[in-house]
Amino acid sequence: MDRRITEFIAALRAAGIRVSLAETADAMRAIEQAGITDRRLFELVMQTSLIKDAKDFTTFRELFPLYFGKEAPPPLQQPGGGQLSEQEHEQLMEHLAQMLAQMSPEQLAQLFRSMMTGQPLSAQEMGQLMDGIAPPHVSNPRYRDWMTRQALRELNFNQLNKALRELLDALRDEGMSEEALQAIEQAARENQAALAEQIGQQVAQQMAEQARGDGQAIPRQRSESELLDRPFDQLNERDADDMRKIVNRLAARLRTRLALRQRRGKTGTLDAKTTIRTNQRFGGVPMVVRHRKRHLKPKLVVLCDRSVSTERVMTFMLLMVYSLHDQLSRTRSFAFIDRLHDMSRYFNEARPETAIAQVMDEIRPTRSYSTDLGYALSEFVRDHLSCVDQRTTVILLGDGRNNENDPGLAAFAQICRRARRVVWFATEEQRKWGVYDPGSLSSDIYKYAPMCDAMLEVTNLRQLADAIDRLFVRA
């Protein structure tokens, strides 16, 4: 049983769930306490001690039946359900022996004997049986039934029907009563189904083992620094997952740094009022000195160019900004293509990752789109200017390629006047700034540049992390 559980845990790990050694030990202790007699209880116990994230429950529930499904092979029936007289039984056995002697191949004879006599196949016999046929070539548990059917076909399982008919005919010729024949047939049919089920379980197990093999083969971790320096536009889908992990790690690291900075930032000027109040209990002797807290938590307004070229960098930036939301006092985010879209509501309702997926899905460029930052800026000034105040940092993410539209410099200047800082995250390498590009024509980035407090090149994850970190430094 222990072995089975460890195998199950290995499968969980292969499916991407983090299960530590300590948790394995916990699960074992928990099972000791709760016992394994009740299957439902057993499942709950394993779930409580192994799974620490609600989103992993589905994986757990998919895998669990594969390992602890119907552990014991289904019981087999006695020939004729035990209703046969001695004589009838002997007749049956005699004929069976004759038929088995002629039957080929040997596996089929084995199955037939087990089916008629009700003696289950031992694990070893079963193993040999399965070795004789090709292993399943798919490891996805969804195809279990299909692979089982294939295995049965390969074993010529249907031949058993024919053999059973022949046997019954022979017995009928001997003059056995119809009732006895019926009893024999029914028991044999049930046994046949049970054997099929058992073979199905074997197949499922083989598939699970293969899946585990596959799962171990995949993790081919690329080094973190390599991914950090890889330009966003050279990332493919497979990297995206790794990147997301790195983003989460980076965010955690940034958070600790920010928290430290905030703590040290406390030593501002003396707060006389609070100091007197806290020292009342010492008779007014200032034992504990209180300082005025600085409001270090910045407010952010993020404007993102949501076009195909900036999709990736936008995803990562939003992911990072929103995983730091506890370090920010307020974040509003907008996406623009040719018009402005408010993204904040997605983030208010869902976790960052889901929200980003929603944003990508619902705000998408139309077929004949052309980025128009100027118009988006004027819309922002018209509708949302109130969310910019002297504590707000405005981030603009984009390449500044405006398709010859009006750059909206007046609106931009108005935003700059109100905001504490305006930082531009440029998604192109610096050498391409302002250079004519046949695809999207001229670049207006240098027209905006003089008004921004900083222009940062953000073409890979490392630069992005640095840029976000700099937002929190007090200028």
Partner 1 sequence: MLARVALRVVILNRKVALRMLNSITDVREILATQQYIASDEICTAMFLADKLGKPLLAEGPAGVGKTELAKSWALANGRELIRLQCYEGLDETKALYEWEYAKQLLYTQLLREKLSDLLGDSRTLREAADRLANEEDVFFSERFLLPRPLLRAITSDQPVVLLIDEIDRADAEFEAFLLEVLSDFQVSVPELGTLKAKHQPTVLLTSNNTRELSEALKRRCLYIHIDYPDLEAELRVIQLKVPGLSPKLARQAIEYVQRLRKMDLKKHPSVSETIDWARALLELNSRQIDKSTLDTTLNVLLKYESDIQRAKRALQGGERGDRPERPERGDRPDRPRNRYPGGEWNN
Secondary structure class of 286 (helix, strand, coil): coil
Residues contacting 323, CB < 8 A, separation 6+: 247, 248, 251, 352
CB 406 within 8 A of CB 313: no
Whether omega for the bond prior to residue 105 falls within 30 degrees of 0, making it cis, is yes
Nearer to partner 1 among residue 23 and residue 233 (C-beta):
23
Nearer to partner 1 among residue 200 and residue 374 (C-beta):
200
Give strand ranges (E) for 87-176.
none
Nearer to partner 1 among residue 53 and residue 131 (C-beta):
53
53 near partner 1 (CB under 8 A): yes
Question: Measured between alpha carbons, how far is 32 from 29 in angstroms, rounded to an integer?
Answer: 5
Among 287, 289, 357, 435, the residue binding partner 1 under the rule CB under 8 A is 287
Span from 38-46, 73-81, 269-277, 363-371 in contact with partner 1 (CB under 8 A): 38-46
Q: Shortest approach of partner 1 to residue 38 CB, angstroms?
A: 8
Retrieve residue 35's tokens.
Answer: 């016992």
52 near partner 1 (CB under 8 A): yes
Q: Shortest approach of partner 1 to residue 292 CB, angstroms?
A: 15
Among 7, 23, 224, 342, the residue binding partner 1 under the rule CB under 8 A is 23
How many residues sit close enough to partner 1 to count as binding (CB under 8 A)?
35
CB 172 within 8 A of CB 181: yes
Biggest CA-to-CA distance, the chain: 114
Nearer to partner 1 among residue 210 and residue 248 (C-beta):
248
Q: How many other CB atoms sit within 10 Å of the CB of residue 42?
A: 17
Q: Are strands 421-426 and 454-457 parallel, antiparallel or unpaired?
A: parallel
382 near partner 1 (CB under 8 A): no
Secondary structure class of 16 (helix, strand, coil): coil
Nearer to partner 1 among residue 102 and residue 348 (C-beta):
348
Given strand 421-426, what is the order of strands in its sheet?
340-342, 330-336, 299-305, 392-398, 421-426, 454-457
256 near partner 1 (CB under 8 A): yes
62 near partner 1 (CB under 8 A): no
Question: Measured between alpha carbons, how far is 255 from 260 in angstroms, rounded to an integer?
Answer: 9
Q: How many other CB atoms sit within 10 Å of the CB of residue 393?
A: 20
Q: Shortest approach of partner 1 to residue 287 CB, angstroms?
A: 6
Nearer to partner 1 among residue 52 and residue 238 (C-beta):
52
Give 344-351 contacts, CB < 8 A, sequence gap 24+: 347/318, 347/322
Q: Which residue, chain included where needed, has tokens 């800082």?
A: 421
> What character string, x for contact with partner 1 (CB under 8 A) and - otherwise, covers 234-253?
--------------x---x-
Q: Shortest approach of partner 1 to residue 385 CB, angstroms?
A: 23
Nearer to partner 1 among residue 253 and residue 417 (C-beta):
253
DSSP calls for 127-145: HHHHHTSPPPS---GGGHH
Question: Measured between alpha carbons, how far is 115 from 190 in angstroms, rounded to an integer?
Answer: 8
Span from 45-53, 68-76, 129-137, 217-225 in contact with partner 1 (CB under 8 A): 45-53
Q: Shortest approach of partner 1 to residue 268 CB, angstroms?
A: 16
Span from 120-128, 165-173, 282-290, 360-368 in contact with partner 1 (CB under 8 A): 282-290
Q: Shortest approach of partner 1 to residue 61 CB, angstroms?
A: 12
Nearer to partner 1 among residue 148 and residue 378 (C-beta):
148
Residue type, 40: R
Nearer to partner 1 among residue 152 and residue 452 (C-beta):
152
Question: Measured between alpha carbons, how far is 248 from 160 in angstroms, rounded to an integer?
Answer: 58
Retrieve residue 462's tokens.
Answer: 């490392």
51 near partner 1 (CB under 8 A): yes
Name residues contacting partner 1, limited to 341-360 (CB under 8 A).
348-349
Question: Measured between alpha carbons, how far is 25 from 27 in angstroms, rounded to an integer?
Answer: 5
Name residues contacting partner 1, limited to 155-194 (CB under 8 A).
none
| Interface residue list for partner 1 (CB under 8 A) | 18, 20, 22-23, 26, 29-30, 33-34, 40-41, 44-45, 47-49, 51-54, 57, 143, 146, 248, 252, 255-256, 259, 281-283, 287, 326, 348-349
